[in-house]
């Protein structure tokens, strides 16, 4: 970790300790900034996969941005939830989302059927009962995120 990050963390903690009102505002801004950064990262990953499929760089970025434009914060949180439950890696989910973006299909990551289709496509095999149960849990949690 570089010295700027250490300084920022120290400053953030001291502000939290001495002023709860400022702490709430800062924590909201921090969470918003992290969500935006995660969305930008996901959009960039989608664009990278589209470029690998032969789409020009500018067009790939445009498709990636427009695909995530509706609910980018929720989508990033849902992808994190999928990765957290060991359904797929971030890279695999980005590849799946790039296919959906390329063909202009919506990908509702809170829908159980969509998650099953995604996991089947990623793993290329019949899904176990344990995996289906995890997908059901993820679908329920992602539907709470989508609200």
Q: Is 2 exposed, middle or buried (0-12, 13-18, 19+ CB in 10 A)?
A: exposed
Q: Is 71 exposed, middle or buried (0-12, 13-18, 19+ CB in 10 A)?
A: middle
For residue range 96-133, what is the model confidence (pLDDT) as tens digits? 999 988 888 888 888 999 999 999 999 998 999 999 99
Is the separation of the CB atoms in 15 and 26 below 8 Å?
Answer: yes
For residue range 76-103, what is the model confidence (pLDDT) as tens digits? 888 888 999 999 998 999 999 999 888 8
> What pLDDT does residue 25 have?
59
Is the separation of the CB atoms in 47 and 9 below 8 Å?
Answer: no
Q: Where are the domains of the chain?
A: 3-146
Query: Where do we find the tokens 């496509």?
Result: 121
Distance CA 136, CA 60 (A): 32
């Amino acid at each position: 970790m570089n010295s700027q990050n250490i300084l920022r963390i120290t400053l953030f903690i001291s502000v939290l300790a001495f002023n709860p009102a400022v702490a709430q505002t800062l924590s909201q801004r921090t969470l918003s900034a992290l969500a935006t950064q995660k969305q930008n990262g996901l959009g960039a990953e989608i664009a990278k996969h589209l470029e690998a499929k032969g789409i020009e760089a500018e067009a790939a970025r445009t498709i990636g941005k427009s695909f995530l434009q509706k609910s980018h914060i929720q989508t990033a949180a849902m992808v994190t939830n999928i990765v957290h439950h060991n359904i797929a890696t971030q890279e695999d989910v980005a590849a799946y989302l790039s296919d959906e973006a390329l063909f202009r299909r919506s990908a509702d990551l809170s829908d159980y059927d969509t998650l099953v289709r995604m996991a089947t496509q990623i793993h290329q095999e019949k899904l176990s009962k344990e995996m289906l149960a995890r997908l059901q849990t993820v679908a329920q949690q992602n539907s709470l995120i989508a609200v």
